[in-house]
Every structure is written in C-alpha cells, then in structure tokens.
Amino acid sequence: METDSRPISRSAPVMASVSAPDLGMDIGACVAAVPADPCSIVILGASGDLTSRKLMPALFKLYRNGGLPEPVLVVGCGRTQWTDVEFRGRMQAAVRPAGERDLAAWQRFSARLHYRCVNYPEAASIGELARFLRALDSDSTTGGNRIFYLALPPTLYRSAARNLGQAGLGVENRDGNGWTRIVLEKPFGTDLATSRELDRSLHAHFQEHQVFRIDHYLAKETVQNILMFRFANSIFEPLWNRRYIDHVSIRATETLGVEHRAGYYEPSGVLRDMFQNHMMQILSLMAMEPPPRFEAELVRDEKAKLFSALRPFPLDRIEDYLVLGQYTAGMIDGNPLPAYREEQGVDPASLTPTYAMMKVQVDNWRWQGVPFFITSGKRLAQKATEIAIQFKQVPYSMFRHTLGGPISANRLILGIYPDETITLTFQTKNPGATVCLRTVTMDFNYQQNYTGPVLDAYEKALLDCMLGDQMLFWRQDGVERSWAFLTPILDACERCSDRGGRLKFYAAGSEGPAESRRLFKPS
C-alpha cells in the first residue's frame, strides 16, 4: 500500500493505492469457483415482486456470465394462471435484456424456464408439481438436484414446507431426488416462539444442512469483507476492543417509504424487518471472535456466541436504550411525501415504528463498556449503510498548551452503500509556521483497480446455495438467539399501555427523531 506524499487536505484525501501484485495473490483465484452441480431451481412465488426484481435478474446475469451449472432449469410457480410462454414474456420484461448479445443469451436462457400454477396450502397441488418435476428431471440430466426457493408470503412457509415434504420432495438421494435444498426469505418467524414453530415445520421434512435462510445483506461484497479486513490484517485486530474503541455505530438508512408493502410492514415494523436479521448480522461480523478456520459452521458458531452475549435491555428503562420513530409528511429532493399513516394500506392510527436506534452492549471481555449504536429507518435524508468505529482519544495530549482543545479521535468507516469504501481519519500537522493539527482521511475504494466480475447479493446467495455453501446463511441457533434478545423488547414496546407515547415522530427527509440524539451518548 502506498500513500501519496504530497501535501494533503480534507478535500484531497490520502488514497490507499491497491494493485493486483500488492494483493499477494492472483485475483482470478478469487472468482474461480468449483462448478455447481446441474439442478432445477423451483421458485414458489414466481409471479411475485421478489422474483421479477431480484431472483430472475440475478439468475440471468449468472447465466450470461457462465456462472450457472449445465444444465440448469428454472421452474416458476404461482397461483396466477400463466403458460410457459407468458411466464417467459413476463420475466423478459423484468430482466430487460438489451443489445444483441443479451437478447441472444436471453433466448437460450428462457428456453430453460417453465411455469406451473400451484396453490401451496393444497397438498394435491404440490403433488402435481412433484410429478411435473420428476418428469422434467427424467428428460434432462439435472440428477434430480433441486432448490425450492420460497418467494412466498411468510404465512405460507410452514404449509409449503409440509406439503413439499409430504409429496416426497424433501428427501435426498432417493425416489428420483438428488440433493434437495429449501431457501427461505426473512422474516424467520415474528418472535422467538414462532421462529421455533417454523423451524419445527421445516425440520419435519428437511434437515438443517438442507435449509438455507437467506440474508442478502450478508452476500454484499463489503459486508463479506468485514471478516477479511479484521482477520487478514495484523494491524487492526489488536485495536479491536474496549481498550481502543470508544463506540461503534452501525447505520442502514433508506429514503424509500413503505411503498406497496404495507401488508407485510404494518405488523412487522422496523425491528422485525431490519434488526432481527440484517443489523444483527452486521453487528456479529463486527464484534465476533475469530473462528479457527474460515468455514461455515465455525463462523456461524462465533456469531451464535456473540448473539448470546447481547445484554438484555432493562425493560423498565427501555427508553434509555431504544428510540422508536415513525415518519410524518416531509420532503426529499424537493418532492413532497406523505406521512406513514397516509400511505396506501396503512392504518391511519398506526403505531408501527419505521425508525429505530438501539444502544446495544455486548457482555464479554472484548467489548465491556463499548456501546454499539444501531440505527435503521425509512424515509430518512439519505440511503446509506455504514459502520463507523470511533476510537478513543489519545490518553494524554502533549499539544494541549499549544492547541488549547482536545484532539479529534481516529475514526474508521466501513462504507457499504452507496460507496464501498474504507476510510480512516487521523491527525496531521497543518503545513506552515504555527502548530496546528487537521484531520485527514486515508481512503480505499473497494472497486479500485479491480476489473473482474462483481456478483450482486442475490447472485452470490443463489450461487452459494447451488454450491451447498452455508457460510452466508443463518443457522437456526443464530436466529433463535437473535430473537431471544429482541422478543422481550418487542413485547415490552407492543404491549405497553403507552405504546403511542413511546413512538417519536420525524419528518420524511430528516435525520430521524430528535430523541435519538439524546440516546447517542458515546461512553
């Protein structure tokens, strides 16, 4: 890594320069994967939003870049009565292949798409699907390997898993089946009890190694990079503890409101939608201990331990640890926006929180006394995801007589969105005759000097599922420990007599409720 030795200022940050030879390894080695086995990908809920916005574009991009196994078949299922031809047309409209090469690739890819009309709660309907899949497999060389992707309303997960199991589609390596995997989108239950019920339904027909609980945040390159950054460098890890770190802030904010998803969001709110899954995963990567090897089970063991170390909130003083908010009317980029309560499908007296800031403490030797401020919300001023590690101030300032004020402490920012960056702030002497300091930054941009393929989160998650790699997926013990932390908080907030009084309002396009500034008191 080289640093620019020219004079620097805030507007001209020091660039961390990266070139392939500096990486000490062949970049190609990072992208060459073992090929996945031929398989069928059965999407239950193929007429829905997730399929057209995320799954199909990801599958097509993987196909176009040679990332899918040969052969691969995609079987879309939904209640909507479509033929194969109609399904292919809808998916083409969603994927929008442009240019001759893309269109030719789409023609080849779309020949692999099939559609079946299925009503999941009905066992007979799934039995019909099972016969279709067996016939399809016998005409191809997929070896009966199948992924069942539940892109369904979560209320259908249990009945879909049960009916798939009862139709004999859960067993592996017999009755015409090869390996079988089932993929679930969050939410994994709505609290600890329901997550356990869901798990019991899944495990009645599928073993844990077959269950892939997806968290697409984990598949983002920069989120994966947290572990590399911490454990592939010797200079950061010695500082990664209560001795040097004052506090950590993890923020994932959106400018979007509830959009058309009020049916899902109203009973969920921000804690179930963002905290139980994405925010907890980022926290675990930031704070977990190093596993002995970079293997799925060992990494997931460390995450589970971290979730067990989260200190329960004192329920009689919850406001010292949590601010919940809901957006009112406001403006973003000059556009007037309605209040949450005025959005389509939302109860005009809704008490659902669209914003939360939490102060979390981790009870172990490494983190004792270091608060983690975790924030997420809708309709905020910016769409951004970042982790900021605020180091402690120097223990003693020899410049105090000359400078007359405290020295700003170092700060490390891991940017996840919109900029995939790592930024370290530090102090330098201001050039000139007088002694004064200024804060400068050393910046690394994740895409800098890298021209290879970049997988988006759903491409990576789908590929890992085809490869049977569970590293980026939730294990049930992690889900339960995360719920065990959150469920008492949810109960205390939702059952309290003054639920409305606890909710703080903020204007759309603002930084969130003013009360979060009160909570954000570093140690």
Give dist(CA 315, CA 321) in Å, integer: 10
Contact call for residues 444 and 466 (beta carbons, < 8 A): no
Strands 14-15 and 437-445, sheet pairing: parallel
The yes-or-no answer on residue 278 being catalytic is yes
Sheet holding 14-15, edge to edge: 14-15, 437-445, 421-429, 411-417, 384-391, 245-253, 372-377, 355-360, 322-328, 503-507
**C-beta of 8 vs 416, nearer to ligand NDP:** 416
**C-beta of 278 vs 359, nearer to ligand NDP:** 278
Give dist(CA 291, CA 302) in Å, integer: 6
**C-beta of 186 vs 251, nearer to ligand NDP:** 186
Nearest to 91 by CA among 59, 65, 133: 59
- Provide the 3-class DSSP secondary structure of residue 301: helix
- Quote the least distance from Cβ 518 to ligand NDP, whole Å: 32
- Torsion angle defined by CA atoms of residues 123, 124, 130 and 136, in that order, rounded to the nearest 10 degrees: -150
- Quote the least distance from Cβ 186 to ligand NDP, whole Å: 6
- Quote the least distance from Cβ 51 to ligand NDP, whole Å: 6
Give dist(CA 316, CA 494) in Å, integer: 14
Give dist(CA 78, CA 58) in Å, integer: 19
Give dist(CA 78, CA 43) in Å, integer: 9
- Quote the least distance from Cβ 93 to ligand NDP, whole Å: 15
Angle at 211 between CA 167 and CA 150, to 5 degrees: 65
**C-beta of 88 vs 247, nearer to ligand NDP:** 88
Identify the DSSP state of 363.
-
Give dist(CA 365, CA 451) in Å, integer: 41
- Quote the least distance from Cβ 185 to ligand NDP, whole Å: 4
**C-beta of 205 vs 216, nearer to ligand NDP:** 216
- Quote the least distance from Cβ 91 to ligand NDP, whole Å: 12
Residue type, 230: R
**C-beta of 153 vs 314, nearer to ligand NDP:** 153
- Quote the least distance from Cβ 344 to ligand NDP, whole Å: 14
User: Of all residues in this chain, which one has the CB nearest to ligand NDP in the complex?
Assistant: 48
Q: Could you give the residue ranges of the DSSP H alpha helices within 168-278?
A: 192-203, 221-231, 262-270
**C-beta of 48 vs 290, nearer to ligand NDP:** 48
Contacting positions for ligand NDP (CB under 6 A): 45-50, 53, 78-80, 118-121, 151-154, 156, 185-186, 264
From the list 114, 209, 278, 401, the catalytic residue is: 278
Nearest to 374 by CA among 393, 355, 392, 391: 355
If phi > 0 it is left, if psi is from -120 to 50 it is alpha, else beta; for residue 299 that is: alpha
Angle at 91 between CA 418 and CA 474, to 5 degrees: 50
**C-beta of 47 vs 249, nearer to ligand NDP:** 47
Long-range contacts (CB closer than 8 Å, 24 or more residues apart) made by 63-71:
63/105, 63/109, 64/102, 64/105, 64/109, 65/453, 67/455, 67/459, 67/463, 68/36, 68/466, 69/35, 69/36, 69/37, 69/38, 69/39, 69/466, 70/38, 71/38, 71/112, 71/140, 71/141, 71/142
- Quote the least distance from Cβ 215 to ligand NDP, whole Å: 9
Residues known to be catalytic: 278
